[in-house]
Amino acid sequence: MAPPLVSVPMKKNKKPSLVLTLSSAGLLIAAGSAAYWLQRQPSWNDLLVGANIIPGDALFAVSLTTDPQQWQKLREFGTKETQAELDKNLVQLRDRFLTNNGYDFQKDIAPWVGNNVTIAILGPKTASKSASKPVTTDENLTGDQQSMVMVLPVKNSEIAKSIFAQPKILKQGKWVDRTYQGIAIKQNQGQSGENFSAALLDGHFLVITDSPKATERTIDAYKSQTSLATTGGFAENFPKIANKQPFAQFYVNVPTAAKIAAATPNRPLPAQVLAQLQNNQGLAATMTLEPEGIRLKGVSWLNPNSQRVLSVENKAGKMQSRLPAETLMMLSGGNLQRLWGEYVLTSQRNPLSPIAPEQLRGGIKSLTDLDLDKDLLSWMKGEFSLSVIPNTPKEGSPDNFRAGLLFMVQTSDRKLAQAAISQLDEVMTNQYQFQVQPGKVAGQPVVNWVSPYGTLTATHGWLDGDVAFFVMGAPITDKILPKPNNTLASTLPFQQTVPTEPNPTNSQFFLDVERTAKNFPLPILIPNQQTLLGATRSIGMTSAVSDSRSNRYDIFIALKKVSK
């Protein structure tokens, strides 16, 4: 059974024939102009469907395929619970725009609509005075001021014009004709609830909105070329994630959307996530379906007018070869000192930051008497990783911890690093009465921290001469010393989940959801998280800094298959 929005096969787009009668000179000029333009501008096929219509200050836009085969493929993934959630949302969308106005997708829409439809959320008119600048005002923006726009590309103009000219009779109220900027508009009147409007733009796009004002804003954007396609950074970055047959594509106006989400009492994202989202101007992604799951190719970019630039440094990708195969989670990055510097830059005067940089600096100074920047981060300029490794206690030994937390960092100055670590050992002995004991694992020297109660709490040492490691919790040092024969990098779950592109990489992430969820509770970050995790086998991500103003991300979510 296909989802309620899609129910009949779609044919491929046919390019309309174009017959021009031009003089030889005029033809050469036109051809030359077109060639120059194409060299400078991305193809419309590389942009979000309707990007030249949706107002540039849109908060969010998502384009969905109308191909029923792709929807059927999506329904092969997940669980019965995720399928029910998907169907519920699709039914709500279908009823809101189609059924409540007397339309059936298969009968009335499918014969003329294109391969994708786009839905956009517009913020209040005051949300942005310029399409190319992020919101900086402190006005109170709330969800009830938002409106929705649906863009349906026209594949068969004759059928579309007929549908538009003779709309269905409403159960309540009536359709009223009006004109705005020379564009004919149909809108319902006298019907309780939302006031839907429809406009056919140049015979190529049918635009449906839930507000007459939203229709006018859409026509204004189309006529004046202040659409999403002309928003700063959009046309330059969206083609980086283009795909010929995507299941979905989406765009987020990050600072505006984050500001509105932060002002909403029941915001779906925590403050920590919102704070970091505001550091970018735009975020976009393309979603494709693969035999074992969903792939997302994403890109984020800074405001083109911003003074901030990104450092193009992609040096990660080795830590997974130092970890054992049973590792549950790994997060790696290329340069911890630089990452901290970027966090400080974006967290200053940001009330939504998870922790103020000065507060963290003060806390470390108070607890350890070490200066975070001078004593620690100054030698942490290489690749780093944070991992969770399950404990397999030996027979007869106490099982105090179910997993060990492993931190590794490639040092840029071992002498400086050794001095800081020795100072930390002294603090643990003198201030916290821990026993700091030298030891050996697989013939390699290590230092153990034993709590006053006699429990081994932490171990630190060196790998390959310049990689410092700290183990906290379970004693899992013997899993990394000596270097394991079966590494995380060699396992099928890692290889099949963590994308190999972009390469070189700046950061990687791997989470074995199935094994982790069985043993450890995961923090709640998004609505319906447990339902979604129940359908997921593993998650992998690879990212890189593309240039001084944009980052690229590839994410793969390996999903369970629904039993027939």
Three-state SS string over 111-123 comes to CCECCEEEEEEEC
Q: Of 232, 253, 274, which residue is a domain's last?
A: 253
Apex 45 CA angle, 39 and 48, nearest 5:
115
> Looking at the domain assignment, is residue 349 inside a domain?
yes
Contact 198, 185 (CB under 8 A): yes
Q: Going by C-beta distance under 8 Å and a sequence separation of 6 or more, which residues neighbour residue 546?
A: 240, 299, 312, 502, 552
> Looking at the domain assignment, is residue 58 inside a domain?
yes
> Looking at the domain assignment, is residue 287 inside a domain?
no
Query: If DSSP states are collapsed to H, E and C, what string results for 147-182?
Result: EEEEEEEECCHHHHHHHHHCCCCCCCCEEEEEEECC
Q: Are residues 233 and 345 in the same domain?
A: no
How much is the pLDDT for 174?
86
- pLDDT, tens digit only, all 564 positions of the chain: 344 344 333 333 433 333 332 333 333 333 333 333 333 344 446 789 999 999 999 999 999 999 999 999 998 998 888 888 888 888 888 887 788 777 888 899 999 999 999 999 998 875 444 433 333 333 444 444 689 999 999 999 999 999 899 888 887 788 899 999 999 999 988 766 668 899 999 899 999 998 899 999 999 999 999 999 999 899 999 999 988 889 999 999 987 776 776 666 665 555 555 555 566 789 999 999 999 999 999 999 998 777 788 989 998 999 999 999 999 999 999 999 999 988 887 776 666 667 888 899 999 999 999 999 999 999 999 999 999 999 986 665 556 678 999 999 999 999 999 999 999 999 999 999 999 999 999 999 999 999 998 888 899 999 999 999 999 999 999 999 999 999 999 999 999 999 999 999 999 999 999 999 887 877 777 777 888 888 999 999 999 999 999 999 999 999 998 865
Q: Are residues 373 and 459 in the same domain?
A: yes
> Looking at the domain assignment, is residue 33 inside a domain?
no
Q: Are residues 246 and 319 in the same domain?
A: no
| Nearest CA among 64, 143, 69 for reference residue 97 | 64
Query: In total, how many domains does the chain have?
Result: 2
Q: Are residues 232 and 341 in the same domain?
A: no
Q: Are residues 217 and 342 in the same domain?
A: no
For 526, phi then psi, to 5°, come to -135, 160
Q: Are residues 189 and 50 in the same domain?
A: yes
Q: Are residues 235 and 326 in the same domain?
A: no
Q: Are residues 248 and 317 in the same domain?
A: no
Structural domain for 330, as ranges: 312-548
Q: How many CB atoms lie within 10 A of CB 502?
A: 19
How much is the pLDDT for 342?
84
Q: What is the DSSP letter of 68?
A: H
Residue 236 CB-density burial (10 A; 0-12 exposed, 13-18 middle, 19+ buried): middle
Q: Are residues 324 and 178 in the same domain?
A: no
Q: Of 238, 253, 268, which residue is a domain's last?
A: 253
Query: If DSSP states are collapsed to H, E and C, what string results for 338-373?
Result: HHHHHHHHHHCCCCCCCCCHHHHHHHHHHHHCCCHH
Contact 160, 199 (CB under 8 A): no
Per-residue buried b or exposed e for 398-411, using 16+ beta carbons within 10 Å of the residue's own CB: eeebebbbbebbbb
Contact 507, 334 (CB under 8 A): yes
Residue 233 CB-density burial (10 A; 0-12 exposed, 13-18 middle, 19+ buried): buried
Q: Are residues 231 and 330 in the same domain?
A: no
> Looking at the domain assignment, is residue 1 inside a domain?
no
Query: pTM for this one?
Result: 0.83
> Looking at the domain assignment, is residue 78 inside a domain?
yes
How much is the pLDDT for 347?
73
How much is the pLDDT for 389?
96
Residue whose token pair is 């006699």: 454
Q: Are residues 320 and 245 in the same domain?
A: no
* C-alpha distances out from residue 61 to 47, 254, 309, Å: 12, 12, 26
**34: part of which helix (H) or strand (E)?**
helix 24-40
Contact 342, 308 (CB under 8 A): no
> Looking at the domain assignment, is residue 564 inside a domain?
no
> Looking at the domain assignment, is residue 295 inside a domain?
no
Q: Are residues 461 and 538 in the same domain?
A: yes
Residue 11 CB-density burial (10 A; 0-12 exposed, 13-18 middle, 19+ buried): exposed
Q: What is the DSSP letter of 457?
A: E
| Nearest CA among 384, 387, 303, 388 for reference residue 338 | 384
What is d(CA 120, CA 168) in angstroms, rounded to the nearest whole number?
A: 24
